[in-house]
Structure 1
Amino acid sequence: MMGPELERLVMLLAKLPGFGPRSARRAALSLLQKREVLMRPLADALLAAAEAIRPCSVCGNLDTTDPCGLCADARRDRATICVVETVGDLWALERAHAHKGLYHVLGGTLSALAGQRPEDLSVEPLLRRAASGEVREVILATSATVDGQTTAHYLAGRLRDTGVAVTRLAHGVPVGGELGYLDDGTLTAALASRRPA
């Protein structure tokens, strides 16, 4: 039904997050129907991004400059580093304008099942940054999964000797959340993380 070029396009699109074989076929068809206004500009943008975008040697963010724009921004609070699992997590915090300091991208979480060990993550560069004397606080912004919690616990232990304050993101009831709709784990975390009113 499809030639090898179209089959390869669909197969590659299906590897994108949120895409399966059916949505990949629909996307390929849409691209082919809009070759000049969508497909060719997208191909050019993909090629340019592949050639120009690199990980920041300081924090691990993706950018065309090294250090990245966030690390180079003199207006950012250099005494605070927010540790995230992925660049996507960094982008989410930036989109929310929730953090005015610097970042550190781990590149994942510790995971026995996936075989992710501390040496597979960007732990040593974080420890060097924390021990530099310029940093006062490291915020562990890992997810509330078992692997995220394990990673945060491991990092807190390793950061203890640096003398910086180590904090965690609060977990619990989301803004606008109704107690009756929350799962047991979220309710337990919310009660454990309670604070004075």
Structure 2
Amino acid sequence: MSNRSAIDELVSLMAKLPGLGPRSARRAVLHLIAKRGVLLTPLAEAMAEVARTARPCLNCGNVGTADICEICEDETRATGVLCVVEDVADLWAMERARVFRGRYHVLGGTLSALDGVGPEDLRIPQLASRLDAEGITEVILALNATVDGQTTAHYIADQLDTRVTLSSLAQGVPIGGELDYLDDGTISAALNARKPL
């Protein structure tokens, strides 16, 4: 592979990242090349390390570098409350807001008839098994305020029935909004104003 085609391949790969198109990817690659020693080489090394070590937490589904993530290992976190999120980006958004000190459960998506995603494709059975194993008394359904998110919340509520207290995020999350795009104040207000389902 020639130097030019290697650069073109890097631009092509960068353009596949969320928020980057071909023009933005070219600018980013040129900036990385210009700052090779400060940015490009350390970035390449960090990416290689993450590619080698990143894995989902066997307990909650978060991404980390060990079989059990730092959040699940943290003994100072509340153990009776479990916050259920759609994906790791939503978990990280909740952590960024620094308002929830319990544990998490990542579903790995939401129910979607259009996309062919059913209950068997999500981590719902693992959620149910965690309730008794970890002594969970409350489950917060912090799912996106979309049709699929609400459908998933109702399905989970039916599955868990009266085993635990169920609540969901309240004010602050707009209809059609996604947690990863909300500011910390909005996430904080929504979590603090959660309501029973």
The normalised TM-score by structure 2 is: 0.83
How many angstroms does 1:131 deviate by? 3.2
Equivalent positions of 1:92-107 (< 5 A) are: 92-107=93-108
Q: Tell me the alpha carbon deviations over residues 141-173 of structure 1, each in whole angstroms, 9 at most, x when there is no partner.
A: 001011111111111111115x11111111457
Q: Tell me the alpha carbon deviations over residues 5-44 of structure 1, each in whole angstroms, 9 at most, x when there is no partner.
A: 1111011101111111110111111111111111111000
2:179 aligns with: none
Instruction: State the aligned residue count.
Output: 175
Q: Which consecutive segments of 4 or more residues in structure 1 shift more than 6 A?
A: none
In the alignment, residue 11 of structure 2 is paired with which amino acid?
V
In the alignment, residue 127 of structure 2 is paired with which amino acid?
L
1:80 aligns with: 81
1:167 aligns with: 167
Contact kept? 2:170, 2:194, Cα under 8 Å: no
Q: Give structure 1 stretches of 5+ with no counterpart.
A: 175-192
Equivalent positions of 1:115-154 (< 5 A) are: 115-132=116-133, 134-154=135-155
Contact kept? 1:13, 1:19, Cα under 8 Å: yes
Q: Tell me the alpha carbon deviations over residues 111-149 of structure 1, each in whole angstroms, 9 at most, x when there is no partner.
A: 122221111111110010123361101100001011111
Contact kept? 2:79, 2:134, Cα under 8 Å: no
Contact kept? 1:57, 1:67, Cα under 8 Å: yes
In the alignment, residue 60 of structure 1 is paired with which amino acid?
G
Report the 3-state secondary structure (helix = DSSP H, G, I; strand = E; otherwise coil) of the residue aligned with 1:3. Answer: helix
In the alignment, residue 165 of structure 2 is paired with which amino acid?
A
Report the 3-state secondary structure (helix = DSSP H, G, I; strand = E; otherwise coil) of the residue aligned with 2:32. Answer: helix
In the alignment, residue 68 of structure 2 is paired with which amino acid?
P
Contact kept? 2:83, 2:139, Cα under 8 Å: yes
2:187 aligns with: none
Higher RCO (C-alpha 8 Å, min separation 6): 2
Report the 3-state secondary structure (helix = DSSP H, G, I; strand = E; otherwise coil) of the residue aligned with 2:79. Answer: strand
Q: Give structure 2 stretches of 5+ with no counterpart.
A: 175-192
| Most deviating of 71-80 and 165-174 | 165-174
Contact kept? 1:82, 1:141, Cα under 8 Å: yes
Greater C-alpha Rg: 1
Report the 3-state secondary structure (helix = DSSP H, G, I; strand = E; otherwise coil) of the residue aligned with 2:60. Answer: coil
Contact kept? 1:144, 1:171, Cα under 8 Å: no
User: What is the distance in 2 between the residues matched to 1:154 and 1:81?
Assistant: 17
2:177 aligns with: none
Contact kept? 2:59, 2:68, Cα under 8 Å: yes
